[in-house]
Amino acid sequence: MAEKAAVSRDVFDRVILPFFAPAQFIPVKGKGSRVWDQQGTEYVDFAGGIAVTALGHCHPALVKALHEQGETLWHVSNVFTNEPALRLAQKLIDATFADRVFFANSGAEANEAAFKLARYYASHRHSPYKSKIIAFHNGFHGRTLFTVSVGGQPKYSDGFGPKPADIIHVPFNDLEAVKAVIDDHTCAIVVEPVQGEGGVTPATQEFLQGLRDLCDQHQALLVFDEVQTGMGRSGKLFSYMHYGVTPDILTTAKALGGGFPVSAMLATEDVAAVMEPGKHGTTYGGNPLACAVAEAALDIINTPEVLAGISERREKFIQGLDAINQKHGVFKAFRGQGLLIGAELSDAYQNRAGDFHKAAAEFGLMILVAGPNVIRLAPSLVIEFADISEGMNRFEKAIGKVLGA
């Protein structure tokens, strides 16, 4: 076997398209909520691969599932079905409102399928002119041209030519704004129960219930993007379960595979029934490798022990952040759901999230941002309490450096 070529961070700048600006260190190994880089430096992981590694790094059950499936069957395409996909679909249906499942590979692909299904359903059942999609400022739904256009952040969608038509954005959590634009030409309202990239902002109960009522009044579909909030992240298997508001279509990805790329669109029988072979598709979606790993992840996450532990861990994180804030006064609000936590910077530190993010890495802590003013934490759902304490100690040191303390 040929020896692997040595790589360093400067290789990125030469060979990778500059869509990203990754950290200067390269992680090479992970176990639980600890990560090590090329130099052997250890990091506590509060980022979770952006809410992906829900069971930490290299969880034994996921490694076992990947290994066993890897020696059995990798890929057959959607000319055939496979047992892992069927088992995973049935378990998702049993655990949710849904009757049908479509598997893809990323959150964007799941959302692309959801938006196409919503428009096709409206055209098929009602009118070809019923195509308006209502979405929200600061929403994020992926990077394909359709999904980035539905997302409410022009900085991500501008500059790529004409955008798909009939998409309207209004303020999040503003039901009156939705009422002002919804009509009988509306096919769907698309919403994140908690806006992730947009600042870790939860929807209010009144807002989501109001959206459900408006959709029912106008024969529109309610689409929940739970790419980031799904699979236990909120403290329940899916965030909609906190609100008691049931969507017609739901998308999930990120934590679904615990680190293996896989996503799903869930739908009711009524909505799914309009589709037929050939209307949409994917080569890799629902492949045996991804579905075997996702089934193992679901079997662990969807248990009373893990779900109950999420609220306990959230409390520990909030206590740690509050203790830091008592000393340094850097935050003005903590928000989010479960282990999707947003710490909004106080007025004195506006636009400094990137500074705190960089300093955290210097002290051996991996965190995230959600815009220039919010620190975002999305750790493993089973992170050890000792790791939370150690990570908070490192975070306080990082904050002290930024503040010059």
Select which of 254, 260, 331, 363 is catalytic.
254
Q: Catalytic residue at 225?
A: yes
For tokens 């804030």, name the residue. Answer: 325
Q: Catalytic residue at 140?
A: yes
CB 132 within 8 A of CB 183: yes
Q: What are the angstrom distances between the C-alpha of 259 and each of 52, 60, 151, 214, 296? A: 6, 13, 24, 36, 12
* 165 alpha carbon, distance to own chain's centre: 25
**335 beta partners:** 342
Residue 84, both tokens: 């892992």
CB 128 within 8 A of CB 94: no
Select which of 37, 45, 225, 355 is catalytic.
225
Long-range contact set of residues 69-77: C-beta below 8 Å, sequence gap at least 24: 69/288, 69/289, 69/292, 69/293, 70/289, 72/288, 73/288, 74/287, 74/288, 74/289, 75/284, 75/287, 75/288, 75/289, 76/287, 76/288, 77/283
* 259 alpha carbon, distance to own chain's centre: 12
Cβ contacts of 223 within 8 Å, gap of 6 or more: 114, 115, 118, 188, 189, 190, 191, 247, 248, 249, 250, 251
| Per-residue burial over 208-222, b = 16 or more CB atoms within 10 Å of its CB, e = otherwise | bebbbebbeebebbb
Select from 69, 23, 20 the least CA-distant residue to 43.
Answer: 23
- Burial class of 148 by CB neighbour count within 10 A (0 to 12, 13 to 18, 19+): buried
Residue 405, both tokens: 């303390």
Residue 98, both tokens: 């849904």
Q: Give the amino acid at 247.
A: P
Select which of 102, 140, 146, 356 is catalytic.
140
Residues marked active site are found at 140, 225, 254
